[in-house]
Amino acid sequence: MITDTKEQSILENNSLKQKFSSYESDFGVISEAILLYHRHGNDLFADQYVSEKMGLSSEMIRQKIYDFFHHPLEEVIIHLDEENIRQRIALTLQYLRETPLPASPVQIEPMTENETEATKNKLIIHYRFSQTPLGSVIVASSGKGVCYLAFNDNDKEYAVHQLVKRFPGVKLVEEEDLFQEEALSAFDAENYDGHIIHLHLRATEFQIGAWKKLLMIPAGGLITYSALAGEKKYSHATGNAVGSNPVAYLIPCHRAVPASGKSGEYHWGKAKKAALICMEALRNPLSYQSKTHGLKK
């Protein structure tokens, strides 16, 4: 655990931790409710169905959705309609063609072959759990940047197991550091200042390339897997690279969708992807996106 001799800047973030602690379960409720309401949106008894399914009153569910998005339910789930998603794909492609994009604040440094080979003997990974406005996460870092960040739905044992699978034989230490803090602060959209977030990722050159393309998709934008690939023959491999993204939210794989207009699959669940798509659509409409990019609100 962190001691009194650790960096003062980490200790000063206790207020951020306290702020995030209140979000422990709300985003999970909101995500599941949005997906259920979208699937049953035309049903006269949608409120009753969702309420029974989730064990909460429809009034409470709708209030949680409004408190998070600052919009009523109906104005949220419309962003999951297939026609709406296809329109946003088209707008995103037009935006990418016509707008010079600034560099993403998320900077990826690949782990070198020497670092990978020396993993079992030398690499030490620090990890911690944190509550964020988007739910509970595990975040891990090497000495050069964040190497893993995943939604963990408060299942800490499973989260650590997944981290061990990604870095077998590595020494894991539950401890906070500045790389983790700079990444977690980006979840606070209202106060994130666009500072650089350092990632240090173990991946192939192709995977790194696909993730860097994702970082060029503006918040509020969506892109198809085939457009992200560039060439049809790379579509499958690109889809696999997107699906293997080790850094949730910060590398925005939730912005990659099927050409059909459906929201598609997501490593951390369809419901979370649906909620993230709605959140970014409401916060960052592309028509007002001329000076924003990536995580910057």
Higher pLDDT residue, 173 or 168? 173
Query: Do 75 and 86 fall into the same domain?
Result: no
Which residues form the domain of 144? Answer: 8-12+82-288
Same domain for 122 and 256, yes or no, is yes
Instruction: Let me know whether 50 and 186 are in one domain.
Output: no
Residue 268 and residue 209 share a domain: yes
Determine, yes or no, domain membership for 218: yes
Q: Which is nearest to 150 in space by CA: 250, 75, 51, 56?
A: 250
How many domains in the chain? 2
- Same domain (yes/no): 208, 66: no
Both 186 and 54 in a single domain? no
- Flag whether 152 is in a domain: yes
* Last residue in a domain, options 80, 100, 126: 80
Examine the domain organization and report whether 61 and 188 are in the same domain.
no
The CATH number of the domain holding residue 268 is: 1.10.10.10
Report pLDDT for 220.
93
Give percent above pLDDT 90 in the chain: 70
pTM, to two decimals: 0.86
pLDDT digits (tens, 9 = 90+) for 239-293: 999 999 999 999 999 999 999 999 999 999 999 999 999 999 999 877 644 343 3
Domain end position, chosen among 80, 109, 126: 80
Whole-angstrom Cα distance, residue 80 to residue 209? 28
Please determine, for residue 121, whether its predicted confidence score (pLDDT) is greater than 70.
Answer: no
| Residue 92 shares a structural domain with residue 49 | no
Q: Are residues 88 and 60 in the same domain?
A: no
- Binning pLDDT at 50, 70 and 90, where does residue 116 land? low
Q: Are 89 and 216 within one domain?
A: yes
Q: What is the dihedral of CA 173, 179, 184, 185, to 10 degrees?
A: 150
So which residues are the catalytic ones? 253
Please calculate the CA angle 278-283-286 and round it to the nearest 5 degrees.
Answer: 90
